[in-house]
Amino acid sequence: MAKAKSVFFCQNCGHEETKWLGQCPGCGEWNSFVEEKVTTVKQKDRQSVKEAQVVPLTQVTGGDEVRMSTYNKELDRVLGGGIVPGSLVLVGGDPGIGKSTLLLQVCRNLSNNKRKVLYISGEESLGQIKLRGDRIGDFTEHLLLLCETNLGTIRHVIEKEKPELVVIDSIQTMYNEDVTSAPGSVSQVRESTNILMQMAKGLELSIFIVGHVTKEGTVAGPRVLEHMVDTVLYFEGDRHASYRILRGVKNRFGSTNEIGVFEMRREGLVEVENPSEFLLSGRPLSASGSVVVCAMEGTRPVLMEIQALVCSTNFNMPRRTAAGIDYNRVNLLMAVIEKRMGLHLAGYDAYVNVAGGIKMNEPAADLGVVMAIISSYKNKPINEETMVFGEVGLSGEIRAVNMPEQRVLEAKKLGFKTCILPKVSLKGLDKIKGIELIGVGGIGELNNLI
């Protein structure tokens, strides 16, 4: 006989306890435990243990998997070159940011190239999917639609139709009849993902899963969901803005440093092949506190604008605000400016922003933040045809960063005339013509440039 018992799961990390706790011992989150009924079945007979054979690594062949292109260059870049057969991909993001739209576009591209695709929706009706599809374009008969939430029925349909790609929208609506808890619960999400993973590996088909996110920006449900899948993709950007950034958080088949940039239009998400030009559009000219920096996203250099506003404070403790860049890093750089350059910033409020809502965590942005703060403090604009990059140390030195040549070439391609960079990075850049390179060894040399 099956025996039911109550188990408490942490909604944040999936930690399991036999009783309710105020704070999760696994992740430290408060009031995150929920009670769920779990049915256990006694194992009648121990199954016989099969003989397992070990194989030396040198005798293993393969590794050169044949990828399936999505016919979307930005998505292929983030995936590492295309879709790997038998892979399980999780796509997360805020509501309304474009997850379903992008995946429906991928289904259209593949179906138009005579690949069988199955789109399974547990949230929308066939009519709603049809309305979104009419905006995207024409579809062929190779795209099949299914509105179902029962995983048993879904498994039967997949085994019958044998598609090359399956899209599940979304994992929180799927349920397994063997699990007694409600759809969207920790147990259901975990078991549903496990069944989909077995189907992907056993049938050698690729499955895309849409996952809702919490207000903290993580996928709703246990974090074990991210550990089970092969690839985790996150959509970034303001849903009210026109651009979207797709970033790989985990990828077993490629790099996690690449990003894809899209623009939301009426016909769907359109690729932005030159994100630097897109992010710099509308940049103010001859304005103090504005400087262009270059960040590397994988192998792609991306130019973006850093803005700073320094003004006298009306409080005993000055305010420090940072958007798109680490707040503690801004405080550290302001302390370096005050100590090494003698600028009295303790009586000024400082606001630093990366224009466009982009998040920049690379140390190469340090020099841009320092120059933007100094420019706003002195109220002297930096030449709009100047691009900067470099890491700033606590002694005020400008340290080298990786891939300086790619950064300079990107600035030259977009028409910048001057590049301020670490002096130690000038070696090997003599062959680049058409752009003036200014090497600086410390922030004290910036007084002559601003």
Residue-wise pLDDT tens digits, 156-209 = 999 999 999 999 998 988 988 887 777 877 778 888 899 999 999 999 999 999
Determine the distance from the C-alpha atom of residue 132 to the mean position of all C-alpha atoms in its chain, rounded to a whole number.
Answer: 24
Q: How far apart are CA 44 and CA 42, in angstroms?
A: 6
Residue 316 backbone dihedrals phi, psi, to 5 degrees: -70, -30
Q: Residue positions in the annotated binding site for ATP?
A: 93-100
| Burial class of residue 407 in the structure, from the number of CB atoms within 10 Å of its CB (0-12 exposed, 13-18 middle, 19+ buried) | buried
Reported confidence tier of residue 45, pLDDT bands at 50, 70, 90: very low
Residue 223 pLDDT exceeds 70: no
Q: Please measure the distance between the N-terminal and C-terminal CA atoms of the chain and give it in whole angstroms.
A: 80
Reported confidence tier of residue 216, pLDDT bands at 50, 70, 90: low
Tell me the β-bridge partners of 9: 16, 34
Q: Residue positions in the annotated binding site?
A: 93-100
Pairing relation of β-strands 418-422 and 436-440? parallel
DSSP 87-138: -EEEEEE-TTSSHHHHHHHHHHHHHHTT--EEEEESSS-HHHHHHHHHHH--
Q: How far apart are CA 230 and CA 196, in angstroms?
A: 12
In 27-78, at which residue ranges do the beta strands (DSSP E only) sit? Answer: 33-40
With a threshold of 0.85, does the pTM exceed it? no
State pLDDT tens for residues 107-143.
999 999 999 999 999 988 999 999 989 989 889 999 9
H helices of 242-304, in order, are 275-279
